[in-house]
Structure 1
Amino acid sequence: MTLRHLRIFVKVCETGSVTLAGEELFIAQPSVSLAISELESYYGIKLFDRISRRLQITESGKFFLQYATHITGLFDEMEKGLKNIDATGTIRIGSSVTIGNHLLPGYIKAFREIYPEIRIEAVVDNSDRIEEHVLKNRLDFALVEGSVHSEYITGKRFMDDDLVVICSKDHILAGRDSVSPRELSSMDLLLRERGSAGRETLEGIFSAFGFEVRPTFESISTQAIVRAIEAGLGVSFLPYLLVKEDIEKGMVRMLKLEGASFERHFSIIHHKNKFITPGMQAFMDLCK
């Protein structure tokens, strides 16, 4: 088993095709097939099921992919570091939307003041997609809200935030301090997209009460939701940090959702096989 075998396997997983993997690696299709067969024979496992001429990765294959991705990635990082030992390094950081809007810019600014020679590349997306990027080694680490879903990811809590209900200042709930899940379920809901941490939390709450989340307005933009709420289109359930300024300006009203405290944890996450460089650790240490 060689690094070449791992690269071929990872590329087949990325493309979903032996033919496409061969084209991207400039390797003949029989050589790609042979490399996969040799891996399966060497480890005594089946990496793919061949169903209706399509490759379906097996559970053993998914396990193997986590290590293969990071072994090849670590080798590439080593080569890049050795060839550019005096050059500027790069740290790839991911962030969920709440953290990306309110915390990440400040962290990056503070880091650049201390380490101006290190380049920061940042991606802001919903928590599910950020987690996927970490798993595939497209990001070195990430700052996310809520819980992670993969056993291959490790996380460390660094801050907390609350989820709150917001409505317009003219809404029937505007004069109240709280609302029950049952009442909320009967109202027009304006929510973030599926995969966002706040949406996932509300779906869990409604599911526990036997309600279904059916938004009348859905957006990846929190500001679009806030503007729609100001226009009286409904209510929402959002992270306090995202709507703090709008609440303080009196543009929207805040309520608590009855039944529990909806405090969320912000965490620094990375793949458990990821090698954390001193630069990465220095950035993580700034997050508090």
Structure 2
Amino acid sequence: MRYTLRQLEVFLAIAHQQNVSKAAKVLNLSQSAASSALKELEQQFDVLLFDRIGKRLQLNEQGRLIRPKAESLLAQASDLEQTLLKHADAGHLKIGATLSIGNYLAVSIMAEMMRQQPNANISLEVANTASISQKVLNFDLDIGLIEGELQHSDLDVIPWRDDELAVFCSPEHPLANKKSISDDDLVQAQWILREAGSGTRQAFERAMHGILPKLTIAHELQHTEAIKRAVEANLGIGCLSQITLEDAFKRGSLIRLPVPHRDFQRQFYFILHQQKFRSAGIEQWMALCLASE
């Protein structure tokens, strides 16, 4: 075989970091060792894998072509190593989750996985749907858990569980005691919403089809808790996932508004790169997610 797994590790680290010295630091190598590994890989096959732009190395067309295959090969090699060692450890698993999922579901699932696999190395990144999907595409994350609808030719988008948005207000808001909320009420209200690019915002806009241009959006905030605090302060009404509001509804600090004529149903999804090898750790994570419904 004309290449080594170490050469592929260096290639992928440089692809992630876009810098040899940063990649070397991640791999605990000297900069010269990392540079030599990349140079040897390119020379062995008489190919250049990066465009050199100052100190930054950016994947060229050939590099982008082999990157998914290299990612898959290294993942399979790691999985084989665990099998040979007779360990069922998940290894290093990089999870991405959107805010509602990350803050209210993923942490407990991660805790259960670490209980079952004490030696597992699991990282969790929480961001909006657009950010998580891009990092899955770039192989910066092994798997994403998202709440927004998504289509991409390089991604497997797999339904996970149902969810529902809820419209809510403070107990002091004029709508708090209404038995049914009309479209006129929705149009007259001041809204505090998630930012564009979030799955929650996407689902909200779909639910408000027909009246969306008439709505008054007073504030756009990136964090679920910030929206809840702003609504509690009676700055407007909001719309978030039911799972993020259950405790507040029980305490009475927020009131759910009945909007039966609007469809707030949606789904959560797993997303994986189509060329990502599904290691034992990924499979175990997905199984735990499904069992948590």
Which of the numbers 229, 233, 243 marks the counterpart of 1:241? Answer: 243
Do the aligned partners of 1:73 and 1:137 also contact (CA within 8 Å) in 2?
no
Indicate the residue corresponding to 1:251 in structure 2. 253
Q: Kindly state the Cα deviation for residue 80 of structure 1 after the two structures are TM-superposed.
A: 4.8
Aligned residue runs from structure 1 range 178-257, under 5 A: 178=181, 180=183, 188-193=190-195, 195-202=197-204, 209=212, 216=219, 218-220=221-223, 222-255=224-257
User: Please, which of 265, 274, 277 is the counterpart of residue 274 of structure 1?
Assistant: 277
Number of equivalent positions: 281
For 1:137 and 1:162, how far apart are their aligned partners in 2? 30
Q: Deviations over 1:95-121 (max 9, x none)?
A: 4333344444555576678x4667473
Cα deviation code 1:199-228 (max 9, x no counterpart): 3434677898557996525242x2332122
Give 1:77 shift: 4.0
- Answer whether contact 1:17 1:55 (CA < 8 A) is retained: yes
Q: Distance in 1 between matches of 2:25 and 2:119?
A: 34
Report the counterpart of residue 65 of structure 1 in structure 2: 67
For the Cα contact (< 8 Å) 2:182–2:259, is it kept in 1? yes
Contact 2:14 2:57 in 1 (8 A): no
SS of the aligned residue for 1:177 comes to coil
Post-superposition Cα deviations, 1:112-157, rounded to whole Å, max 9, x if no partner, equal 78x4667473625134344455445565544332234544332332
Q: 1:284 to 1:48 in 2, by over 3 A?
A: same
User: Is 1:26 the counterpart of 2:27 in the alignment?
Assistant: no
- Which sits farther off after the overlay, 225-234 or 239-248? 239-248
Question: Distance in 2 between the 1:94 and 1:270 partners?
Answer: 10
Q: 1:138 to 1:253 in 2, by over 3 A?
A: same
Distance 1:274 1:236, change over 3 A: same
- Tell me the equivalent position of 1:97: 99
Q: Percent identity?
A: 25
TM-score computed with the length of structure 1 as normaliser: 0.71
Moved more, 261-270 or 13-22: 13-22
Contact 2:76 2:279 in 1 (8 A): no
SS, match of residue 216 in structure 1: strand
- Classify the secondary structure of the residue corresponding to 1:31: helix
Q: Identify the range of structure 1 (33-42 vs 9-18) with the bigger mean alpha-carbon deviation.
A: 33-42
Q: Which whole-Å deviations, capped at 9, do the CAs of 1:209-259 have from their partners, x for residues lacking one?
A: 557996525242x23321221111112221122113323443323346698
Matched to 1:85, the amino acid is: K
Partner of 1:16: 18
Partner of 1:154: 156
Could you say if the C-alpha distance between residues 74 and 160 of structure 1 is closer, same or farther in structure 2, counting changes exceeding 3 Å?
same
The alpha carbon displacement at 1:193 in A equals 4.8
1:286 aligns to 2:291 (yes or no): yes
CA drift at 1:167: 1.8
SS in 2 for 1:189: strand
Equivalent residue, structure 1, for 2:127: 126
Query: In the TM superposition, what are the counterparts of 1:72-87 in structure 2 within 5 Å?
Result: 72-82=74-84, 84-86=85-87
Question: Where does the alignment leave 5 or more consecutive residues of structure 1 unmatched?
Answer: none
Please state how far the C-alpha of 1:191 moved relative to its aligned partner.
3.0
Match of 2:180 among 159, 177, 181: 177
SS state at 2:235 partner: coil
Unmatched segments (≥5 aa) in structure 2:
none
Whole-angstrom distance in 1 between the partners of 2:288 and 2:157: 15
Amino acid at match of 1:26: S
Q: Which moved more, 1:253-262 or 1:153-162?
A: 253-262
